[in-house]
Amino acid sequence: MRALYSDEAEHGVLGAVIHASLQQDVGLVEDMLGQMTSADFYHADNAALFEAMVECRGRSMPIDPVTVGTVRRTLPSGDATIAYAAELANKVPSFANWKAYAKHVKEWGVIRRIIEIGGQAQGMVHEGAPTAEVIAAAQQAMADLRDLHSGGGSYKRMSDVLPAVLEGMQDVLDDKTPPKKSTGLADLDKLVDYLPPKSMIVIGGRPASGKTMLGLQILQHIATRGQGVGLAVSLEMPNEQLTLRSIASLGGVDLKRLREVKSLDQDEWRRVESAAGKIKQAELYLIDQPGMTMPEIRAEARSLMREKGLDVLLIDYLQIIGFDSRVPSRTEAVARNSTAIMNLSRELGIPIIALAQVNRGPSSRPNKKPQASDLKDSGQIEQDADMVILVHHDPESEAGQNGVTELIVDKNRHGSSGSCLVHRQGQYGRFANFAGTLPSDDEIEAGRNSYAQRYKGSNQ
Where residue 30 sits, what CATH number does that domain have?
1.10.860.10
Write out pLDDT tens, residues 299-315.
888 888 888 889 999 99
**286 and 383 assigned to the same domain:** yes
pLDDT attached to residue 155: 59
Strands 387-392 and 404-412: antiparallel
CB 350 within 8 Å of CB 313: yes
Number of neighbours of residue 26 by Cβ within 10 angstroms? 13
Residue 332 has pLDDT above 90, yes or no: no
> If you ran DSSP here, which 8-state letter would residue 59 be given?
T
Contacts of 295 (CB under 8 A, 6+ apart): 48, 51, 72, 76
Handedness of CA 121, 386, 193, 409 (dihedral sign): positive
Residue 93 — left, alpha, or beta (φ > 0 → left; ψ -120 to 50 → alpha)?
alpha
In a domain, 339, yes or no: yes
Q: Tell me, what amino acid is at 424?
A: R
Contact, 387 vs 407, CB < 8 A?
no
pLDDT above 70 (res 327): yes
Whether 433 and 288 map to the same domain: the answer is yes
Q: Report the alpha-carbon distance of residue 244 to residue 233 in Å, rounded.
A: 16
131 lies in a domain?
Answer: no
**355 with 203: CB under 8 angstroms?**
yes
From 159, 178, 197, the end of a domain falls on 178
Alpha-carbon distance 437 to 421, whole Å?
A: 10
Domain assignment present for 302:
yes
- Structure confidence at residue 218 as a pLDDT band (50, 70, 90): very high
In this predicted model, which residue has the larger pLDDT, 5 or 44? 44
- What's the CA gap between 285 and 272, in Å, rounded? 19
Counted residue by residue, the chain has a size of 460
Q: Is residue 83 part of a domain?
A: yes
Asked if residue 271 lies in contact with residue 257, where contact means CB atoms within 8 angstroms, the answer is: no
Element (H, E) at 22: helix 7-22
With bands split at pLDDT 50, 70 and 90, how would you rate the model's confidence at 37?
confident
Residue where a domain terminates, one of 100, 124, 144: 100
CA atoms within 13 A on the CB side of 312: 27
**Is residue 107 in a domain?**
no
State the average pLDDT over residues 403-419: 87
Same domain flag for 340 and 438: yes
Q: What total number of domains does the chain contain? A: 3
Report how far Cα 434 is from the mean position of its chain's Cα atoms. Answer: 27
Number of CB atoms found within 10 A of residue 24's CB: 9
Q: How far apart are CA 44 and CA 230, in angstroms?
A: 21
CATH number at residue 240: 3.40.50.300
> Is residue 224 domain-shared with residue 373, that is, in the same domain?
yes
Mean pLDDT of 20-39: 81
- Answer yes or no: is 425 within a domain: yes
Domain shared by 160 and 269, yes or no: no
> Could you tell me if 38 and 173 lie in one domain?
no
Which residues lie across from 202 on neighbouring strands? Answer: 354, 388
pLDDT at 355: 94
Instruction: Tell me, yes or no, whether 64 lies in a domain.
Output: yes
Shared domain for 263 and 412, answered yes or no, is: yes
Which of the listed residues 125, 146, 178 is the one where a domain comes to its end? 178
Which range is most confident: 15-19, 136-140, 173-177, 320-324?
15-19
% of the chain exceeding 70 in pLDDT: 88
Q: Residue 354: which of 387, 306, 392, 393 has the closest Cα?
A: 387
Is residue 320 within 8 Å of 280, Cβ to Cβ?
A: no
Q: Which neighbouring-strand residues pair with 356?
A: 204
- The boundaries of the domain holding residue 267 are 186-458
User: Same domain, yes or no, for 49 and 197?
Assistant: no
Residue 197 burial (C-beta neighbours within 10 Å; 0-12, 13-18, 19+): middle
Asked whether 411 and 385 are in contact (CB, 8 A), the reply is: yes
- Please state, in angstroms and rounded to a whole number, the distance separating the CA atoms of residues 72 and 44: 14
294 and 417 belong to one structural domain: yes
DSSP structure string for 105-163: HHHHHHHHHHHHHHHHHHHHHHTT--HHHHHHHHHHHHHHHHHHT--S-S---HHHHHH
**What's the pLDDT at 448?**
46
Q: In this structure, are 379 and 406 located in the same domain?
A: yes
Are residue 78 and residue 140 in the same domain, yes or no? Answer: no
Give domain status of residue 106, yes or no. Answer: no
| Same domain flag for 233 and 147 | no
